[in-house]
Amino acid sequence: MSDKIKIGVIGASGYTGSDLVRLAVRHPDIEITALTANSHAGKPMHKVFPHLANLGLPDLVRNQEVDWSTVDAVFCGLPHATSQEVIAALPSHLKIIDMSADFRLRDAGTYKQWYGVERTQHELQKQAVYGLSEHYRKDLATARLVACPGCYPTAVLLLLLPLVRQGLIDASDLIIDAKSGLTGAGRGLKQNTLFAEAGEGMSAYAVANHRHAPEIEQELSLVVGQDIVVNFTPHLVPMSRGEFITAYARLADGVSAADCQQALEAAYADEPFVYMAPDGVIPGTQFVRGSNKVMLGVFEDRVPGRVILMSTLDNLVKGSAGQALQNFNIMFGLQETKGLQQVTLFP
């Protein structure tokens, strides 16, 4: 009998769900026993994603058709406002790693304001641990429900939290320029992500109104001890995957860009996935594509007293499915890098 951890993936027909399957199928301690996708129920996985053929995967089924008593952990890749009800109906023995937004925002009022629906599962929210792996590792180790961060917050917070925590930059004066590949918009058909609309161009979206902004503010505010508001603008760029953050910050008195560099190096010196760009290298999405890595960079601004900070990751891996798998490893006491040792796909 297999002693592997049996997992299910809810919402396996989306980009995040399918990337989770791609990673998990080579994890030495995982057996994928259930894949759900109500709109594709009854189909083999390779009919939806041909690149996942010949892997011995179970067919896609509806959520209610799964015998959850035979499953140990569930990854949930459903849209926001859907996950909370589905997760509430799952048996209590399951460990749950949610890749949606339903449990990321701790305040119910903030969730309703930004997502337009009521939070119904207040008790589950109390159990949820925010899944920024490098900063919540201790809490994740004993969690039953993990709310994985959004892709933008992952890139931004890994870059800024160590600097804000040490008071090296002014958290009240942050300008965050964010860019994402088109998979960040999901797999559903949308006019602005059609090739003819998105190719050979770049555009901003959700200007001053992106749902990841309050998530970033929530975590920064916790560290600072007061409410923080950031200037955050996201953009779509014509590539399938990847994310790039440029943050402009005011340095604290007497602090230099070199101090920020040293602080980030020290904060992530023992981390397997977060690292500084080598000397003379400017971070780029091509250096992390397909991997669970995050590359950071620090540059002195020409404007006195300011610093330019950069962060890049693959939005489907470290920004979603990869971080979810990293959190799974932490929850089950496994080596954190298991199933996530892919080297960057370059070029």
Structure tokens that stand for 83 in this block: 């996950």
Phi, psi (rounded to 5 degrees) for 47: -75, -25
Catalytic member of 76, 148, 151, 260 = 151
Active site residue 76: no
Catalytic residues: 151
